[in-house]
Amino acid sequence: MTCAVLRHAGILPRSGSMRVPEVDLVRAVALCMMIVYHFLFAIRFLDMADVEVLIGFWRVFAYATASLFVAIAGVSLTLAATGLRRRGESERRVAAAQLRRGLTIFAWGLVITLVTSLALEQGAILFGILHLIGLGTILAIPLVDRPRASLVIGTLCLFLGPLAARYTGPLWLVWLGFHPSDFVSLDYVPLLPWFGVLLIGVTTGWALFPNGMPRRQLRPFPGWAAPLLWLGRHTLLIYLIHAPVILAFLLAWKSIA
């Protein structure tokens, strides 16, 4: 997908669009955390090192990474909606832009589902983080301007998540949080509880950036932060390519080691 198409989908900024560098920086940190975890996961997956990535510290690290990634997506929804309104866009256009953004991200999630289904004997990604952010973006359309309702519904989702995890269900409910007992996936981020994290991000966005602007004017970021800000502005592109790059690097290293 070209950068022009990504801008049309609302995933990359249009030329001259307002950016909030604090959000880009946090998004970049979340992306770096995800790359670190996926690198270690790939090392373990390829039996190159005995790294316990599914228990202990690294399990907590993975949950913290996903939580930050999803929450910042919620913050971005409030900023995007506010930015469109400041440019004089109608409510219908604001909702249409959010719908287009959600559908595009969800479509990329389906691409990952197809690739992992063809490449893996088990563990295909049926509903991972891109599926969650894409569908969550669509479901949040009526809530993006209602921070209190977002907080209440988001908190409810967080409480319902552990309850849903206690029960099994058919595979077609995997998106909601129910799945067969033998279900295995390399990345699983269902609506319960993770839609709650996104909605709390929406509430956080309104709390930190009323009218799309920070409550406090921070000092300009130093020069060393420029690479991180760049990462934060190109998160989806880097997310899509980082796993193949990691696998290619490790397989090449393994072949010559």
Could you tell me if residue 9 is inside a domain?
Answer: no
DSSP annotation of 1 reads -
Whether residue 5 lies inside any domain: the answer is no
Residue type, 93: R
pLDDT 10s per residue in the chain (257 long)?
Answer: 444 434 433 344 443 345 788 899 999 999 999 999 999 999 998 899 888 999 999 999 999 999 999 999 999 999 999 999 888 999 999 999 999 999 999 999 999 999 999 998 899 999 999 999 999 999 999 999 999 999 999 999 999 999 999 999 999 999 999 999 999 999 999 999 999 999 999 999 999 998 777 777 767 777 888 888 999 999 999 999 999 999 999 999 988 87
Q: Using an 8 Å Cβ cutoff, are 212 and 75 in contact? A: no
Whether residue 4 lies inside any domain: the answer is no
Asked whether residue 204 is domain-assigned, the answer is yes
Helix (H, G, I), strand (E, B) or coil at 129: helix
Comparing CA positions, the residue from 141, 108, 136, 127 lying closest to residue 177 is: 127
Domain membership flag for residue 6: no
**Residue 164 covered by a domain:** yes
Q: Exposed, middle or buried by CB within 10 Å (0-12, 13-18, 19+), for 167? A: exposed
Closest CA to 94 of 107, 78, 106, 70: 78
Distance, in Å, from the CA atom of 205 to the CA atom of 211, rounded to the nearest integer, reads 10
Residue 196 has what DSSP assignment?
A: H
Written as six digits, the tokens of 254 are 């393994």
The b/e string for 150-162 (b: 16+ C-beta within 10 A; e otherwise) is: bbebbeebbebbe
Q: What global pTM score does this model have? A: 0.90
Rounded to whole angstroms, the Cα distance separating 38 from 182 reads 23
Contact 140/76 with Cβ under 8 angstroms?
no
What's the total number of domains in the chain? 1
Domain of 132 in residue numbering reads as 18-256
